[in-house]
Amino acid sequence: MNVVVVSNRVARANDGEPIAGGLAAALLPAVKNYGVVWVGSSGRVRDLAAKDAFAEVEALGNGALATVDFPKAHYCGYYEGFANSALWPMLHSRVDLLATDPEQYACYSAINSYMARALLRFNQPNSIYWIQDYHFLPLGLELRRLGITQPIGLFLHTPWPATSIVQALPHHKEIVRAMLAYDLLGFQTTQDQTHFADFVKNVLGLTVVDDCIRYDSRICRLATFPIGIDVGEFSARAAKAFTFPEVMRLRSSVDGKLVIGVDRLDYSKGLPNRIRAFDRLLTVDPALKRNVSMLQIAVPSRERIRAYSQLQQELALQVSDVNGRHGEVDWTPIRYLNKGYSQAVIAGFYRAADVALVTPLHDGMNLVAKEYVAAQDPADPGVLVLSSFAGAAHELETALQVNPHDIDDLVQKLATALTMPHAERSARWKVMMERLRSSSLQSWFENFLAALTQRSPKPLVLPPKIAAALPARDKYGSRVATFQ
């Protein structure tokens, strides 16, 4: 089986490079350990024609990384335009920030078509294609148009919102119809899957039977695959990193307890409310001054998009105001850093922190929550304060779950975390660790591919009425029998 994974970018992260985000953290081990070919943008844009689609390949462990130069004429409209100024805010229920135009959608479509042609290099009789995330929602349809008949799946790392939110997106019907060209659509949570099924039924007027949708002579299946982490590896990394110079300097510089937040600088992460909550905590309980500090790492992202540059300015002013009012000549309440760190160092920071604030307004999963739990010292674990709107909240039920829109709730949960006795901290942590081990990165990877190739322990059996109506082959030449 030749597994081809496709995402917007590929990563070459190692212990000496800055943290690359959840998608990279999930896929790099799969490439190295499972022999996957990971294809994505090289980050270079050039004056290219459609016929120039080509991927450069380099080895990585047992697998390979393949990078594609994108056409300059379309990249900005694709990435900064439709993908991140329309799809991203819609998927995170921020339609107030949605901004796009027909030209940007045309660029998004053109890049998807271009990537499909680049992928032809990897097409073999035993190839299967696993597409990642919102950048390539119509890529499966583009591959079908080029004659690809092998299994193609899409995993969506973001949330899928309620139907009324999706309908705010221009071309929403066209995009969802294109997504039905995939054999398998994977979601982070059952709620995301239910929202997608509701859209298909209520807007497109299609029938969903046993999580299967028949459209255009094909069957598209819906399923949930919560993404995990390599718990053992991350725990070992955190223990080792506890003696790294950066981590030791952090530990020696903190008097009292440390609260940590690690995020991309994105409006979906709830950072302004997090800072407001910490400000209010120091205001209502002045005795905490000098006894608790906050380290917020906010890695800049998509700075050319107005909503992101405005957020960066807002947070800088907000942190400055809090530090100016509560700080002393020898004590700073909030250490606010706009730069990335290696995953090894981040793991050490997690282990050094007594509390982690993971409070997104909406998030598909949020691997920071899982990484923080895995990084803890079993003899003295910290406390995770977790937004109930993160996908991870469906699994990490013994975290202190919080409404990130409610500042008072944030303050209360943070105060509870800072004073939680050891026995309760340990009991909550053990339950979360057990859940992390049972839903690891390896199981996520294997379960998706098993479902895509129909090698799961419980094979899909279509309802008799649908199965009887299916032709031997669909319009693209795929044998529909592979779904039974």
Question: Is 321 among the catalytic positions?
Answer: no
18: which DSSP letter? B
β-pairing, 218-224 vs 212-215, is antiparallel
Closest CA relative to residue 296, chosen from 280, 324, 320: 320
Coil, strand, or helix at residue 254?
Answer: coil
Closest CA relative to residue 367, chosen from 29, 9, 33: 29
Residue 191 contacts residue 163 (beta carbons within 8 Å):
no
Coil, strand, or helix at residue 141?
Answer: helix
Burial class of 474 by CB neighbour count within 10 A (0 to 12, 13 to 18, 19+): middle
Residue 393 contacts residue 399 (beta carbons within 8 Å):
yes
Catalogue the E-assigned strands of 106-211. 127-132, 152-155, 184-187, 208-209
Radius of gyration for the chain, computed over Cα atoms and rounded to the nearest angstrom: 23
Output phi, psi for 383, to 5 deg.
Answer: -115, 135
Query: What's the order of all strands across the beta sheet hosting 184-187?
Result: 55-60, 63-71, 37-46, 2-9, 127-132, 152-155, 184-187, 218-224, 212-215, 208-209
State how far Cα 412 lies from the chain centre.
28
Number of CB atoms found within 10 A of residue 55's CB = 20
Q: Note the residue count of the chain.
A: 484
Question: Is 363 among the catalytic positions?
Answer: yes
Tell me the two tokens of residue 144.
């079908």
Catalytic entry in 74, 157, 195, 326: 157
Residue 452 contacts residue 192 (beta carbons within 8 Å):
no
- The DSSP code sequence of 429-454 is HHHHHHHHHHT-HHHHHHHHHHHHTT
Residue 385 contacts residue 417 (beta carbons within 8 Å):
yes
- The DSSP code sequence of 78-113 is IIIIIIIIIIHHHHTT-GGG----HHHHHHHHHHHH
Catalytic entry in 133, 192, 263, 363: 363
Task: With residue 400 as reference, give the H or E element that holds it.
Answer: strand 400-402
Residue 370 contacts residue 228 (beta carbons within 8 Å):
yes
Q: Which residues are catalytic?
A: 157, 363
